[in-house]
């Protein structure tokens, strides 16, 4: 493929230090909530942070963050608006909220287009809310974003973790770095996911207990930052940042 937009993407992400792709093997594990809270937490620590919702299957970070009526600005590309201390961009600006789904090639084109036109300028972290699973879109994004690193979210469920196994296998095959695995919506003290994660040669970054307050906090960032999820996101942010120090002597 000789799409000229692809070389534009590298140029657009030149001033972005790290790209953290928050991902999952399947939907419904809390990926978007973890991505949003992690981005907010990194911003609170004083980093320059972007949040980019690329989950075309069900974009939801705008709902989680209560973003309404804010549009990106056009200026030699698209400049993401600042919301809650983050630079924010979503595929929802492109696809809208309609029922009409994007067909395969349209998804690929929409992702390339969005990456090619968005002007992030200087960022310490760009957090991506990825499409779930190991479909075309995930493969496209791995191909398009050279400095991508994955953060994998799972639940304690066996069905969820089996999809993590596949995702981890694919990333290993493609030589893509994985920061580690987060166990979300944990309800007991089982060590199964921790052990299984280590068997995959991946770092276990910790557990986030199930918290009924999170559902009530959707759309309200102040409430969201007072949940157990936000509390655990602080540890997660510390681990991600310290990994930066190790990798960059």
Which residue in 11, 75, 173, 201 binds a second copy (CB under 8 A)?
173
Q: Is 163 in the site for a second copy (CB under 8 A)?
A: yes
Q: Is 29 in the site for a second copy (CB under 8 A)?
A: yes
CB count within 10 Å of CB 176 equals 15
Give 78 or 185: the residue with its C-beta nearer to a second copy. 185
Token representation of residue 142: 């791995």
User: How far is the C-alpha of 37 from the C-alpha of 55, rounded, in Å?
Assistant: 16
Q: Is 162 in the site for a second copy (CB under 8 A)?
A: yes
Closest CA to 50 of 94, 9, 89: 89
Site residues for a second copy, 91-110, by CB under 8 A, read 97-105
Give 48 or 53: the residue with its C-beta nearer to a second copy. 53
Q: What is the smallest separation between the CB atom of 164 and a second copy, expressed in angstroms?
A: 10
Kindly write out the interface string for residues 217-236 of this chain, putting x where it contacts a second copy by CB under 8 A and - elsewhere: -x------------------
Q: Is 177 in the site for a second copy (CB under 8 A)?
A: no
User: How far is the C-alpha of 209 from the C-alpha of 183, rounded, in Å?
Assistant: 8
Q: Is 27 in the site for a second copy (CB under 8 A)?
A: yes
User: How far is the C-alpha of 114 from the C-alpha of 41, rounded, in Å?
Assistant: 25
The interface region with a second copy, picked from 8-16, 25-33, 85-93, 240-248 by CB under 8 A, is 25-33
Q: In this structure, what is the dihedral angle of CA atoms 131, 135, 138, 144, given to the nearest 10 degrees?
A: -130
Give the interface size with a second copy as a residue count (CB under 8 A). Answer: 44
The full 3-state SS of 7-62, as one line of letters, equals HHHHHHCCCEEEEEEEEECCCCCCHHHHHHHHHHHHHHCCCCEEEEECCCCCCCHH
Q: CA 55 from chain center: how many Å? A: 9
Give 27 or 77: the residue with its C-beta nearer to a second copy. 27
User: Contact positions toward a second copy, by CB under 8 A?
Assistant: 25-29, 32, 57-58, 60, 63-64, 97-105, 132-136, 138-139, 155-160, 162-163, 166-167, 169-170, 173, 187, 212, 215, 218
């Amino acid at each position: 493929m000789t799409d000229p937009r692809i070389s534009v993407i590298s140029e657009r992400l030149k001033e972005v230090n790290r790209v953290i792709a928050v991902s999952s093997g399947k939907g419904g594990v809390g990926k978007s909530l973890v991505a949003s809270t992690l981005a907010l937490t990194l911003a609170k620590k004083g980093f320059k942070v972007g949040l980019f919702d690329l989950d075309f299957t069900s974009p939801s970070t705008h709902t989680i963050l209560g973003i309404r009526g804010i549009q990106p600005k056009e200026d030699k590309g698209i400049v993401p608006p600042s919301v809650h201390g983050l630079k924010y961009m979503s595929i929802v600006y492109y696809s809208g909220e309609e029922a009409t789904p994007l067909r395969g090639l349209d998804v690929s084109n929409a992702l390339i287009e969005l990456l090619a036109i968005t002007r992030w300028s200087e960022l310490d972290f760009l957090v991506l809310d990825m499409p779930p699973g190991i479909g075309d879109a995930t493969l496209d994004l791995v191909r398009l974003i050279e400095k991508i690193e994955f953060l994998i979210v799972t639940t304690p469920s066996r069905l969820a973790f089996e999809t993590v196994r596949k995702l981890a296998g694919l990333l290993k095959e493609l030589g893509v770095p994985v920061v580690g695995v987060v166990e979300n919506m944990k309800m007991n003290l089982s060590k199964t996911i921790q052990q299984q994660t280590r068997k995959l040669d991946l770092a276990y970054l910790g557990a986030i207990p199930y918290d009924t307050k999170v559902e009530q906090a959707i759309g309200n960032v102040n409430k969201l930052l007072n949940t157990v999820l936000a509390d655990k996101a602080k540890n997660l942010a510390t681990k991600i940042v310290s990994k930066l120090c190790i990798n960059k002597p």
